[in-house]
Amino acid sequence: MSTLKAVCILLLCPALFTSPGRSATVIAAGTKTVDACSFAVKPTAEIVSHLPYPANWKVVVVCNENVWDTLMRQSKVGFISDYAFTLQPNHVTFIRGRVFIERMRYTPEQALKHELGHIMCKCDSEDTAWAWAEKH
């Protein structure tokens, strides 16, 4: 195979060369710098790197309680969460930064596994998402 042909294949078919362990993109929101939210962004990136989140997925760490409250009031969300929520059509999961600094019923890892359960089942069922999270 010529070098030119190999380069064309790599450029035209990147999904063939994506490793299955490739993780989602982690983004900080509600903060001026990522460093100001490193208490939540770094552990989120670590947790997500060990879970089979789709490579095209975004995990947004909401570092500001006012921003979280605004998100909870959006009609698109339609419910209140103390931990995290996923908008499947947008390929995005939001996790509340507060879960990394306060002891709550569920750990951040449990919340992120639960949200991944929704992604894997392609459903809104809380029971199904928790069942998936408990198995993984």
Q: pLDDT tens across 69-94, in order?
A: 999 988 677 788 999 999 999 999 99
What distance in Å separates the CA atoms of residue 80 and residue 71, rounded to the nearest whole number?
9
| pLDDT of the residue at 22 | 64
pTM, two decimals, is 0.81
**pLDDT tens-digit map of 16-41:** 222 334 679 999 999 988 899 999 99
Q: Is the pLDDT of residue 4 over 80?
A: no
| pLDDT of the residue at 60 | 96
- For the chain, list the domains and their CATH numbers: 18-135 (3.30.2010)
What distance in Å separates the CA atoms of residue 109 and residue 1, rounded to the nearest whole number?
45
Where is average pLDDT lowest: 4-13, 43-52, 54-63, 85-94? 4-13
C-alpha distances (whole Å) from 94 to each of 65, 110, 111 are 13, 14, 10
pLDDT averaged over every residue in the chain: 84
What distance in Å separates the CA atoms of residue 42 and residue 28, rounded to the nearest whole number?
10
